[in-house]
Amino acid sequence: MQRRIGLAICLFCLLLVLGACGERKTGPAAQSDAPVYEVTDIRGYTTQLAAKPQRILTLSLGTDEILLGLMEPERIAAVNQLLDDPVNSNVTALASRFSRKLSNPSVEEIAALQPELVILPDWGEAAKADALRDLGIRVVVCYGAKSVDEIKANIRLIAQAVGEEERGSSLIAQMDSKLAEIAAKTEAIPSAERKSVVLLSVMSTYGGSGCVFDDVCRLAAVCNGRAAAGIPNGQPMGKEELVKIDPDILLLPTYNNHGSFDVEGFRRSYLEDPSLQTMRAIRLRNLKEPRESYIYNDSQDVVFGVQELACMAYGSAFAQPDGEHLTAVQP
């Protein structure tokens, strides 16, 4: 009997060892005696955390805004330098609370901040993920969002990573409520009265199908002229194509990168071009300047981009103030 009991104990221990040795793609392991929660990012990398991280860093404006909707600023190690730029950011008041602002920081600069967690979108900055992990820094990669659904997915992922899932759910519920409020108004607009727009962006390849702006157009009940013409995001639009699209409204840029970019010259290159003068938007002066902090937004505040575009197309029924921001953090 004792032999059978001993054999059973040995088999049980062997099973425990085999289970523990199962191969997995994980970040730095938490201490064995600490409670652990896990988060798996969009690349399938699983990171373990022993507690809510208290020094968090993201490397994009949109993910900074998501963090600010999920947690107290004291838990954020630094923010993107664009956060306090009034053209790019709708949360400049919150940005003033941060002394450290970053612009394309190196791996060494990030490490020097001693973050407990770094959140990277899956465009250029994601290349730093492996180098940061090699230094023992936990990294979660999220979407460089191309749709409102991907923004919501980012909120869920980031909320899980920072230990604020309930606040993440609250933030998405607020988005859905705002979008429903806008839809209740746009649904009353007859199809024949719905407008077409083209975004003239200083990012010449932005604004076609397959980007957040295209989704914003759909939710604002306007036709994205670039997408309707079969121009995908990432492909430039020529002036001949613009004439063929002939949108009801042209959306003009205002950002001049603190005086280093001649935005007025860029606008004149379209508005004063003789080949474009037959276009409805130019001929009738249907030229709009949406707030870029809303129209290019890829955080929960994209809903105000939807409202901003609806205001450009359909007027004051969709008017809104500056600095709108959704947050699940109670004051």
CATH architecture of 189-318: 3-Layer(aba) Sandwich (3.40)
Instruction: Compute the C-alpha angle 211/265/246, nearest 5°.
Output: 50
Q: Which residues make beta-bridge pairs with 250?
A: 198, 287
Q: Provide the pLDDT for residue 8.
A: 42
* Residues 70, 91 contacting (CB under 8 angstroms): no
Query: Which pLDDT does position 36 carry in this prediction?
Result: 86
| Common-topology check for domains 24-173 and 189-318 | yes
pLDDT at 10: 42
Please write the tens of the pLDDT for every residue from 38-53: 999 999 999 999 999 9
Give tens-digit pLDDT for 258-292. 778 899 999 999 999 999 999 999 999 999 999 99
Residue 24, SS3 per DSSP: coil
d(CA 27, CA 38): 10
Q: What is the DSSP letter of 264?
A: H
- Mean pLDDT over residues 194-222, rounded? 97
Residue 154's identity, in one-letter code, is N
How many Å is the maximal CA-CA distance in the chain? Answer: 99
Identify the CA nearest to 321 among candidates 308, 330, 312, 306.
Answer: 308
Gap between the Cα atoms of 227 and 236, Å rounded: 12
Could you please report the per-residue DSSP string of 129-172? Answer: HHHHHHTT--EEEE---SSHHHHHHHHHHHHHHTT-HHHHHHHH
Q: pLDDT-based confidence at 67, cuts 50/70/90?
A: very high
* Contact predicate 325/90, CB 8 Å: yes
The strand pairing partners of 39, in sequence order, are 47
Does residue 139 register a pLDDT over 50? yes
CB 289 within 8 A of CB 252: yes
pLDDT, residue 195, reads: 98
- Grade residue 21 by pLDDT with cuts at 50, 70 and 90: very low
Nearest to 128 by CA among 58, 52, 76: 58
- The model's pTM is 0.88
In angstroms, the CA 282 to CA 276 distance is 7
Chain-centre distance for alpha carbon 113: 23
pLDDT at 43 (0 to 100): 95
What's the angle, vertex CA 321, arms to CA 318 and CA 326, rounded to 5?
90
> Which are the contacts of 12, defined by CB distance < 8 A and separation ≥ 6?
none
- The percentage of residues in the chain with a pLDDT greater than 70, rounded to a whole number, is 89
Lowest model confidence (mean pLDDT) among 9-13, 203-207, 237-241, 250-254: 9-13
pLDDT grade, residue 1 (50/70/90)? very low
Sorted by where each begins, the domain ranges of the chain are: 24-173, 189-318
Nearest to 297 by CA among 98, 58, 82: 82
Strand ranges for the chain from DSSP E: 37-40, 46-49, 56-58, 79-80, 101-102, 117-121, 139-142, 196-199, 223-224, 249-251, 287-288
Amino acid at 260: S
Of the candidates 326, 279, 330, the residue with the CA atom closest to the CA atom of residue 301: 326
According to the model, what pLDDT value does residue 331 have? 81
Residues with Cβ < 8 Å from 287, sequence gap 6 or more? 249, 250, 252, 271, 281
The CATH homologous superfamily for domain 24-173 is Nitrogenase molybdenum iron protein domain (3.40.50.1980)
